[in-house]
């Protein structure tokens, strides 16, 4: 029996009766009924009623090569026929994750040559946390186990991911966080930069919050700093250019490991394979997932630096940690094909040299001037639009988040999928967007902003 035998109302009723969704108010969902996405091709998704929607979020920051790639389906099919599964525990391996690991070492920053696989970004961050604490224990410093993160960071939804993250609403439902994780100021210029403060100085001030926390806790107690190069789910918060070099300097000075979370930024989104390369960061661990397979299969890869890996290998004995699906051969086969396509079609260079700059200019020229827009910003193919009541004072509409949600709903009605986080609209297009598609997106966003403005008047 296929879903085509069911009406939308029937599917919604079954969905409401049996399916608990992520990050969802289920009373709201059941009252409204879920939109059923049933098909997707290239940059577009289609719902059960035949509506075509331009996907401004690449699914959930992941479908970098766009939808409907037969080559990925064929890679999965071939691997499933030959070897659908075997684990990499107990001195076994399978060829596909071996070859993927080699490829990943080739495209990553030079000091990252080893990877540990999981099925999600959350799992990868759990692994990273365990690994850095284990590293310091093996180095004879078990008390060096505190991790510094930032407010509004997002590092996943498991208990460790939520604890590492800095989302207040999520912490409110944690009922016992992983201990020894502190959260400091984020580099969010739009709200936190002082009048008259230069971007450069603001970046240094935000980085100093990390140094202050190291000094407060004592460097001998701090294992690592964790951060997204651009805070994605928190609202595409792009740090000033001075921020990451200063973070790097501080981490080196106090011998604090640098854990980079590239779950959103990895695999081309910033115009390089990784934001570490775009921003000149040298991490000790680097978490990736999502676009590793363009979302066609669940897979994460945690990169581990030579420094950390050599201690784990030389001094560690067995690391009591692993997932049934670590190095899943089908997911790894899809990842290999996905990386091949990204390379073959020159997607990263195009975002860096052509469509990324065009996207930035289009946001500035066509969206920034709108009455509801306080600021637009972008980095590669990550974009944000701040929704405000008053451009000059940056006053927001009340209640918080309501105006951006309204813009989002109008956008979807106008054939444009984007996301609202608080009062920030987020864009994370597939890397296949052309200049024409960027024009189309801007037109639809302006229509949504106009419609929301009328409602809010």
E strand or H helix that includes residue 90: none
| 237 interacts with ligand PLP by CB under 6 A | no
Q: Which residues pair with 118 in a beta bridge?
A: 300
Sign of CA dihedral 408, 380, 165, 245: negative
Look at residue 369 and give its three-state secondary structure.
coil
Residue 259 pairs in a beta bridge with: 226, 285
φ and ψ at 227, to 5 degrees?
-160, 150
d(CA 413, CA 204): 42
Taking the complex as a whole, the smallest distance from the CB of residue 155 to ligand PLP amounts, in Å, to 5
Task: Return the range that interacts with ligand PLP (CB under 6 A); candidates 37-45, 256-264, 346-354, 443-451.
Answer: 256-264
446's tokens: 């302006």
Q: Shortest Cβ distance from residue 22 to ligand PLP (Å)?
A: 8
Query: In this structure, what token pair is assigned to residue 396?
Result: 């927001």
186 versus 437: smaller Cβ distance to ligand PLP: 186
Q: How far apart are CA 166 and CA 169, in angstroms?
A: 9
Contact 224, 284 (CB under 8 A): yes
Among 289, 339, 376, 420, binds ligand PLP (CB under 6 A): 289
Under the binding rule (CB under 6 A), the answer on residue 126 touching ligand PLP is: no
- Near ligand PLP by CB under 6 A: residue from 228, 246, 272, 423: 228
Separation CA 210–CA 246 (nearest Å) = 10
SS3 assignment, position 142: coil
CB under 8 Å to 115, separation ≥6 — which residues? 100, 101, 104, 105, 301, 302, 303, 304
Q: Is 233 in the site for ligand PLP (CB under 6 A)?
A: yes
Helices (H), 181-328: 189-192, 199-217, 243-253, 275-279, 306-315
> Closest approach of Cβ 429 to ligand PLP, in Å?
16
Counting contacts by CB under 6 A, is residue 264 touching ligand PLP?
A: yes
CA 313 vs CA 100, 136, 143, 308, 319: distances in Å: 20, 13, 21, 9, 9
Q: How far is the CB of 234 from ligand PLP (least distance, A)?
A: 9
Question: Cβ closer to ligand PLP: 203 or 298?
Answer: 298
Instruction: Supply the minimum distance, in Å, between the C-beta of residue 125 and ligand PLP.
Output: 6
**221: closest CA among 180, 268, 275?**
180
For position 156 contacting ligand PLP by CB under 6 A, the verdict is: yes
Q: Tell me: does residue 326 bind ligand PLP (CB under 6 A).
A: no
Task: Give the nearer residue to ligand PLP in terms of CB position, either 230 or 387.
Answer: 230
Nearest to residue 232, comparing CAs of 34, 410, 58?
Answer: 58
Q: Pick from 388, 390, 430, 394: which is nearest to 407 by CA?
A: 388
Binding span for ligand PLP by CB under 6 A among 30-38, 47-55, 212-220, 228-236: 228-236
Which one, 156 or 356, has the nearer CB to ligand PLP?
A: 156
Could you tell me the two tokens for 311? 């201690």
Question: Angle 402-413/435-456 helices, nearest 10 degrees?
Answer: 130
Count of residues in contact with ligand PLP, rule CB under 6 A: 14
261 is an interface residue for ligand PLP by CB under 6 A = yes
Q: Output 247 or 406, the one with its CB closest to ligand PLP.
A: 247
155 in contact with ligand PLP (CB under 6 A): yes
Out of 122, 293, 294, 355, point to the residue binding ligand PLP (CB under 6 A): 122
Element (H, E) at 224: strand 222-227
Q: Is 141 exposed, middle or buried (0-12, 13-18, 19+ CB in 10 A)?
A: middle
Which of the stretches 5-13, 67-75, 121-129, 402-410 binds ligand PLP when contact is defined by CB under 6 A? 121-129
The one among 66, 97, 203, 232 contacting ligand PLP by CB under 6 A: 232
Assess 121 for contact with ligand PLP (CB under 6 A): yes
Stretch in the footprint of ligand PLP (CB under 6 A) among 118-126, 320-328, 400-408, 437-445: 118-126
Stretch that binds ligand PLP, among 117-125, 330-338, 341-349, 400-408 (CB under 6 A): 117-125
Nearer to ligand PLP, 382 or 388 (CB): 382
How far is 26 from 19, CA to CA, in rounded Å? 10
213 binds ligand PLP (CB under 6 A): no
Residue whose CB is nearest to ligand PLP in the complex, by number:
121
- Considering the complex, state which of residue 261 and residue 386 has its C-beta at the smaller distance from ligand PLP: 261
Beta bridge partners of 285: 259, 304
- Check binding of 263 to ligand PLP (CB under 6 A): yes
Contact residues for ligand PLP (CB under 6 A)?
A: 120-122, 125, 154-156, 228, 232-233, 261, 263-264, 289
């Amino acid at each position: 029996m296929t879903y085509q035998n069911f009406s939308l109302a029937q599917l919604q009723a079954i969905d409401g009766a049996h399916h608990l969704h992520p990050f969802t108010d289920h009373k709201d969902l059941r009252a409204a009924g879920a939109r059923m996405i049933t098909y997707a091709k290239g940059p577009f998704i289609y719902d059960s009623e035949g509506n075509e929607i331009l996907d401004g979020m690449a699914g959930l920051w992941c479908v970098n090569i766009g939808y409907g790639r037969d080559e990925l389906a064929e890679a999965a099919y071939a691997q499933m026929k030959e070897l659908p599964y075997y684990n990499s525990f107990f001195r076994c391996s399978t060829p596909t994750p071996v070859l993927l690991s080699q490829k990943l070492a080739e495209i990553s920053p030079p000091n990252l040559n080893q990877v540990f696989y999981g099925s999600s970004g959350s799992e990868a961050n759990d692994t990273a946390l365990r690994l850095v604490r284990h590293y310091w224990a093996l180095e004879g410093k078990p008390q060096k186990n505190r991790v510094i993160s930032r407010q509004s960071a997002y590092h996943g939804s498991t208990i460790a991911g939520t604890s590492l993250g800095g989302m207040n609403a999520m912490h409110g439902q944690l009922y016992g966080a992983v201990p020894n994780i502190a959260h400091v100021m984020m580099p969010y210029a739009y709200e936190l930069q002082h009048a008259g403060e230069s971007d450069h100085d603001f970046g240094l001030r935000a980085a100093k919050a990390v140094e202050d926390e190291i000094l407060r806790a004592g460097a001998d107690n701090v294992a690592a700093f964790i951060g997204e190069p651009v805070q994605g789910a928190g609202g595409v918060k792009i740090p000033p250019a001075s921020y990451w070099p200063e973070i790097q300097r501080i981490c080196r000075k106090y011998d604090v490991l640098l854990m980079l979370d590239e779950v959103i930024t990895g695999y081309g989104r910033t115009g390089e394979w990784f934001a570490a390369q775009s921003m000149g960061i040298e991490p000790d661990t680097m978490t990736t997932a999502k676009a590793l397979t363009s979302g066609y299969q669940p897979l994460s890869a945690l990169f581990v630096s030579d420094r950390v890996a050599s201690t784990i290998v030389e001094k560690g004995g067995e690391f009591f940690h692993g997932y049934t699906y670590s190095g899943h051969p089908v997911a790894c086969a899809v990842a290999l094909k996905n990386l091949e396509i990204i390379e073959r079609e020159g997607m990263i260079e195009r975002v860096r040299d052509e469509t990324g700059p065009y996207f930035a200019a289009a946001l500035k020229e066509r969206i920034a001037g709108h009455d509801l827009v306080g600021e637009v910003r972008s980095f590669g193919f990550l974009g944000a639009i701040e929704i405000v009541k008053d451009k000059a004072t940056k006053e927001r509409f009340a209640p918080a988040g309501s105006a951006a949600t309204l813009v989002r709903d109008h956008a979807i009605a106008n054939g444009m999928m984007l996301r609202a986080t608080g009062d920030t609209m987020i864009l994370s297009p597939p890397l296949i967007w052309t200049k024409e598609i960027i024009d189309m997106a801007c037109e639809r966003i302006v229509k949504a902003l106009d419609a929301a403005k009328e409602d809010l008047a």
